[in-house]
Amino acid sequence: MKKIYFAGSIRGGRNDLDRYQEIISYLQHHGEVLTEHIGYFGTTQLGEADKSDIEIFNRDMDWLSSSEFVVAEVSTPSLGVGFEIARAVGLHKKVLCLYRVQKDRKLSAMISGCPDIQVKEYQTFEEVKQIIDNFLSDNKL
């Protein structure tokens, strides 16, 4: 079973929570999503209320190291997601960044300019599903 690390903004803003839930649910058809808690609402549900920042970091880095694929929704800027993506690139993981095009916001050049990251723009969830299917089928292990 494929191990997938999903990254989405938590402390940087939960504006896209509904979208994260949809993406995580769809990814679960393709494998085990190690970070399904990103789609939960509160810190209690996230499993973070009783954990220190060091514990969260260590847990997430273990998950990232054990994953085969990283899928990040990057429409809401997040320092943590950027860090996870950089670490994934350093670990030679297959990385897909999903970006919903917005008039008032551009994606960071550090993400869009990196040759080791597949960046795909989308508007609808139907497009997201097709992008994920293509990414996972193109990167069979």
pLDDT score of 140 more than 70: no
* Residue 1, both tokens: 């079973």
Fold for 2-138, please state it: Rossmann fold (3.40.50)
Say what the pTM is. 0.91
Model confidence pLDDT, tens digit, residues 50-65: 889 999 999 999 999 9
How do the domains of the chain map onto residue ranges? 2-138
pLDDT score of 44 more than 60: no
Model confidence pLDDT, tens digit, residues 17-31: 889 999 999 999 999
Question: Quick check: 36 and 7 in contact, CB under 8 A?
Answer: no
Strand pairing class (69-73; 2-7): parallel
* Residue 93, both tokens: 């993981």
